[in-house]
Structure formats: structure tokens, C-alpha cells
Amino acid sequence: MAVIGRIQKNSVLLLIVIGGAMLAFIFTDNFKGDGAQEIVPNGTIYDEPFDEDEFERLTDSYVNRGLNDAYQQQQQTAPGQPLSQEKQDQIKNTGEDQAFNEVVRRNLMNREFDKIGITCTVDELNDMLHGNHVHPWVMDVPIFRDLTGEFSKDSVRNFLIKMEDEPIEEEARVRWEEGKNQWMEFERELKDTRKADKYVSLIKKGLFVNSLEAQHQYDGGNEIRNIRFVMQRYSDLNVDDYEVTDADIQAYYDEHKTEKQYEMVESRDIEFVSIPVIPSAEDFDSLASKMSKIKTKFESVEDNIAFMNLNSDDVASNDSIEYSMGDATLNLPPNQFVPTGTYPAVADEAIQASEVGDVIGPFQTRIVNPQDQSEKDIMFLGKVTGTRVENQSWVRHILISIDATRGEEEAKVLADEIIADIEANDNFVANVTEHSEDPGSIENGGEYKWFPEGRMVPEFNDASFNGEIGQLQLVKTTFGFHIVEVLARAERVVPKMAIVTKEVKPSDFTMKYTEEQVFDYIFRINDNKSDSAFYEVAADSAYTVMNSRIWIGQTYVTGVKKYKRIMRFAFNANAIEGDISDPILDGNQYIVAYLSNIIEKGEPKFEDVKEQMRFSALKDVQARAYMEKMANKNSLADVAKEVTNGNILNAQITYGANVIAGGGGNEPEVIGALFRDELTAGAMTVPIKGRTGVYVAILDEITPAEAKEDVTVERDFVLQARRSSSDNLVIRALREKADVIDNRRKREYQ
């Protein structure tokens, strides 16, 4: 019954909550559009536009339900937080896909039902609602359960009776009409499900396996052929030893261009540059002035959290987070701020001098988005809400590691030499640069600044907190030998703070100025008359050119946030190769794009798949070379002399398997060649081109399958395999026959 379940899943599935005669449905389906060729309709089936009203209604239903479900989940994990725009866009795209697929499903299946005459009678519907074969969807409706939580047929009957009583009061009547319409939709889906069951049952009963097919299945798994073989694997060959010319790739293209794997979807090749919008010095000064005014108010407020949420870019729920200074021991640069507990070095002096109630800052620093690792400039204020004091150390060190290339004794000798050099020349930092193997501290001159006891491994910790200040110490840890110098130790303040952050954003003036610079950049491209103008002007401006092949249905462009602007530029009806976009504002950057290639749906042009086919063409070149080398030999031993490994391998093969065990690979074509009727025991084959290499084999022995008159087991096996895949194959065939076209993106972009 898996096929029925799948057909049902492709229906309008439901999660029903009936309250005040109201129903809600969830529709799920997984059909995908095949591309876009028309503009006006969102999609076509049998060259006819499908029902736009139904599509719009289903889209609204899916999207609203998706947004509501996502919001409810968001409130459980992050109360008060709105859904991000990215999440909303994702839900809208998903809902639209579901609606499109449901319209397609209904259209295809209803055509089949009408053609064959499949119906669902009133009696059948009642049987699914409250008869002897109640459908699981009905049993899942909460209001159809009794006080014990069990499904009650009487509840369904009572509901249907009440559904016929139209209220007199206007507001109640509106709710009644809405609920009744939804119930009628639900009944329609139940009837469609019953019709789908009948349709699939007819398909399955029409499948058949004859005796010859069953015998072939038996023979394919039981006739055994023992072979010895020599193979030259393509992967064992040095690619640089083989020249793949354009003629080689062209030959491969001519032979394989019609294969499904090379069929093109409607695509575009674009190149683009990103021009950052950088806040000016005036923008920094303006925000600093605003933050100073906020600071004055922050000092006097009592409800810190409310103030933070009113004035900070970040949502706050805690005004007493403990902060430590960021440094290399935390894998952080000293100027980076982490709102959950790390302050930058620039704020350290003020923090060490602070008392509870003080507001420090504003400080300019940088913050990293943990989701995409993007950075931005911010300014922050910190209100000290609590403090404690702890012993901290400031050290610098040089790590001489012990590994496979350097033993312990050698490492210690080098460490001793470095200590002597530092003591003689006072050149610790120079030795860090030349010798240290601790990447986290090299850029800081080997320093770990102000860390508490217990953060480091025990030996390093002991030297840091018990060693003499200014004295070079040689410490051995699991990492190797450390040359450690304690620069300072102190009792230092560890604050708890309420934080207000604001991003330094470009002003309108800065945005306008940058836009003018971008237009100037575009004018310079247009003034350059060469075919490579886009690349030449980008190089002159020190901009990096990024490239991407985008297809019309994708929902992202790597390196771009507002991908739809790029998609609309590339896929609009008037787009031609060589187009340059207007400035596209994308967050904190402007994008200028160049349309370098238009790829139409269908059979590929040579240049569009040339690089994709290069590797396969290389295999053809290698295969031809070794088929020539391995040909016309007297024995396998002679063949083995021509290949890189020189081994003669053994294997047992059956026709029903695709793999040559014992060192071969997935080779259905080679196995087919070894089962030719004219190949007799003792015969050596000519070189055979396979998927993983070139083969020459000797057929040592043929063990025929034992005679078997009753092949019922094999017949049932093949029949079951056909039935289990029939649902997918039928749906795929219906879609292909209907030539379902998805025009949604093309309609949107044009």
C-alpha cells in the first residue's frame, strides 16, 4: 500500500483544528517545475494555462499556515523575536512550490479520473467519514473524539447535522460559511483519495511478468562465469601525460550531447563586482555623538533591559552578562566584541577603573555575525552592573612543537638556542616570527594578554602564575616546548555589564556618494569599447570579478543577499549578452553585473558544456591509448606488462550484477561483453572500454544455472519491483505527457 500512501501524500494533506466550525488544511507535495517558457501564466499543462485563482488561493493558504507555524515555534525558542526576512522568504517560496505542485496534481489526476470514469459515490464518502472504513484523516480531527480521547463516529454525524443549520446572526453566518467551505474542500480531498486508490489499483493489476522474463531473472543471478583479467584504471594514470584537445572534447560532445545529464536548463552566466559602501569619518562621528547622548540617559535609568531594547540594535533579556577581555587564548583578535561575553581591548582601561553603575564608552569595535561570519563596525556602551576580582596573567611565548619531523631532543636543543639568542640580543618578537608554531599568538608577538588561572594546560598555567616576572622559562607540554616570559600579573576586574550596541551605518550622503562612484565605474566600462571592458575596468579599479552560472529557478546567488535583483537583470525578456546592470544595492554593497552568456533550455551548445565534458573526454583519450597498447597480445601476462599495476586478477561474475569483484569496478558494459553467447571458455577478449578502466579478460569457466522449471519466486520478485516503482513512474509519465511548464520565475523576472 506504499503507493497509495504516496498518492495520498501528494494530495492536500491536512492538520485539522476545528473550532467554531473552522477547519485548516496543510497541503504537501513534492512536484518540481520543469522550467519556464511562457510569460503570462504561472504554469501550463497540456499547453493550457492552469487555474490562476486556485493557485493564488492555495499559495495564500500554504504561506499563511507556514508563517503561523514558524512564528509559534519562534516564540518557544526566542520569545518576542520576529521572524527574519530570510525565514519569511523561505516560507513564501516553499508555500508557492507546494501550491504549484498541488494545482498540477489535481489537474493531472482529475483528467485521468474523467478519462477512465473513476468516481467516488456518496456511500463511499460516508463510509470514509463515519462508516466501517473511516479514513485516518477523519480520525485525526480533534473534535471528533469523545471524552476518553477516542474517535467517535457519532461526533462526525452530529457535526454534519449541525453544519446544515445556517445561523441567522451575520457574524456567525460568515464563520459558518467559511467553515462549511473548508469542510467541502476536505470532503473533496477524501473523494480524490478514494479515486486515487482505485486508479493505482488498476495500474498495479495491469502489470505482468511473463515466463521468459522470470527465467531471465533466474539465469542472470545464477549463471556464473569465472574470469581472469587485467585492467588499467583511469585513476592510476597521470593526467598531465595526456593532452585533451578541443577536437577530443568536440568528438565526445558530438556523441553524448543528447544525453539527459547534459540537457540544459534555462541559465545565465554572469560576472559581477562588489563595491562596498563604507561609512565615512563623518558617519562615525555622528554615531559617536548619538551614543554620547544615549550614555547620559543610560546612567540614570533603573530598568536596564527596557532601555537596552529601546536603544540597542540587539534584543536584550539580561543586563548582567559577565565579560572578559578578548585575546588569542579565546581565538579572538583583541579588537573584536562578542555581545555574549567578550569585550575588546580598547575598553579594558575604562573597565578596570570602573565601579558598579558606571557607563563606559562609547567604544568603536567590530562584531562578527556567527551565522555567515560577516563583520561590521559598531559602537557600544557598557553599564557595569556587577564586578568581581580575579588573578590574571599576561605572558608571551614561543612554541617549538614536537611532531613526526622533529623529536623531543631536537626541539629542546632549538629552544635552548633561542633562549640564548633572546638573552643576548633582546629579540623575543623576532624569534616569535621566525620560530613560533602557535598560529594564535604569532601576530601578537607571542602574547596572551590577561587570562585567568585554569585556562591554559597545567604546565603553562604554572609558569604563567608562579614563574618570575621577566624571567625566560622553558616549559614542556603536550604541544611541545614553550619559551615563556611573564610580562605582568594583577588582580583584575571582571565586570557584569548591560550593553547597548549600534552599527555604524553609511548616511544618506555616503550612500549617494558611493552610488555616484558606481555609476562612474559603469560609465568607464561603457566608454571602453573592447570585448573585455568589464574585466579591464574591474582590474584597473582593483575589484575582484566573481562569476556564477545561475538557473531560472534558483533562490540564491552566491555572494549576493538580494538575489532577485540579479535574477531579474539576467532573465528579463529584453536581456542580451553583454548587458551591464545598473547599480544594485545589496545590503552594505553595490553590485554591478555583466551578462556574459545566455543558455537556453534543451540541447547544450559546445561552449556551455566544454569544461564539464573535459574529464569524460580525457577518459576517452586514455581508453583509446590503452586499448591500443593492450591489443593483439598472446597472453594476459603480456597484457599485464602494458598496464601500471601489472596484476592479473580473478573474479566470479553474474549477469545480474553490475560489479566486477576482486579489484574491478561498477562495469555493466564490461559484464555484458563477457556474457556474449559467442564468447567460449578459454577465450581472451579484445580490450574492453569500461567506466573505471580498460579490461582484457580470459573466460576460464562457465557454470550454467541449474535447470529450474518453477520460476514463480523470480516472477513475483520482478512483479513486486515493478509494482513498488509504478507510482513514481506513472506520475512521471503523466507529467512528461502533459509537458508541465513552470513559468513562475520567468513571469516574476519579466
Same domain, 130 and 79: yes
State yes or no: pLDDT of 352 exceeds 90: yes
Same domain, 616 and 670: yes
pLDDT of residue 308: 95
pLDDT band of 730, cuts 50, 70, 90: confident
Instruction: Give mean pLDDT, residues 144-148.
Output: 88
Question: Cα–Cα distances in Å, from 79 out to 82, 172, 251, 485?
Answer: 9, 33, 62, 48
What confidence tens digit (pLDDT) does each residue in 657-670 have? Answer: 889 987 888 999 99
State yes or no: pLDDT of 365 exceeds 70: yes
pLDDT of residue 65: 85
Same domain, 656 and 563: no
Q: Count other C-beta atoms under 10 Å from residue 714's C-beta.
A: 22
pLDDT band of 375, cuts 50, 70, 90: confident
pLDDT band of 382, cuts 50, 70, 90: very high
What confidence tens digit (pLDDT) does each residue in 7-48 have? Answer: 333 333 333 333 333 333 222 233 334 444 445 689 999 999
d(CA 651, CA 657) in angstroms, rounded, equals 12
pLDDT of residue 69: 87
Q: Is residue 295 part of a domain?
A: yes
Which residues does 244 contact at the CB level (< 8 Å), separation at least 6? Answer: 614, 617, 618, 621
What confidence tens digit (pLDDT) does each residue in 80-108 have? Answer: 778 888 889 889 999 999 999 989 989 99
Instruction: Give mean pLDDT, residues 52-71.
Output: 89
pLDDT of residue 16: 34
Instruction: Give mean pLDDT, residues 496-501.
Output: 94
Contact between 163 and 180 under an 8 Å Cβ cutoff? The reply is yes
Instruction: Give mean pLDDT, residues 292-304.
Output: 96
Same domain, 36 and 64: yes
Higher pLDDT: 521 or 328? It is 521
Same domain, 198 and 323: no
Same domain, 487 and 348: yes
Specify the range with the lowest mean pLDDT, choosing from 37-51, 66-80, 290-304: 37-51
Among all chains, which residue has been given the C-alpha cell 494555462?
Answer: 49
Same domain, 337 and 469: yes
pLDDT of residue 6: 32
pLDDT band of 423, cuts 50, 70, 90: very high
> What would the grid cell of residue 507 be?
548616511
Query: What pTM did the predictor assign?
Result: 0.69
pLDDT of residue 717: 94
State yes or no: pLDDT of 409 exceeds 90: yes
What confidence tens digit (pLDDT) does each residue in 544-555 have? Answer: 999 999 999 888
Q: Is residue 669 part of a domain?
A: yes
Question: Is 24 in a helix, a strand, or coil?
Answer: coil
Domain count for the chain: 4
CATH (domain of 288): 3.10.50.40
Question: Cα–Cα distances in Å, from 75 out to 68, 80, 83, 318?
Answer: 11, 6, 9, 17
pLDDT of residue 1: 33
Q: Is residue 23 part of a domain?
A: yes
Instruction: Give mean pLDDT, residues 234-245.
Output: 94
Same domain, 8 and 128: yes
What is the domain extent for residue 274? 267-278+507-599
> What would the grid cell of residue 384 be?
557595569
> What one-character DSSP code corresponds to residue 335?
T
Give start and end residues of each alpha helix (H) in 34-84. 52-77
d(CA 638, CA 633) in angstroms, rounded, equals 6
Same domain, 373 and 232: no
pLDDT of residue 233: 94
Same domain, 587 and 630: no
Specify the range with the lowest mean pLDDT, choosing from 40-49, 121-130, 424-433, 709-718: 40-49
Q: Is residue 732 part of a domain?
A: no
d(CA 371, CA 514) in angstroms, rounded, equals 27
Same domain, 29 and 157: yes
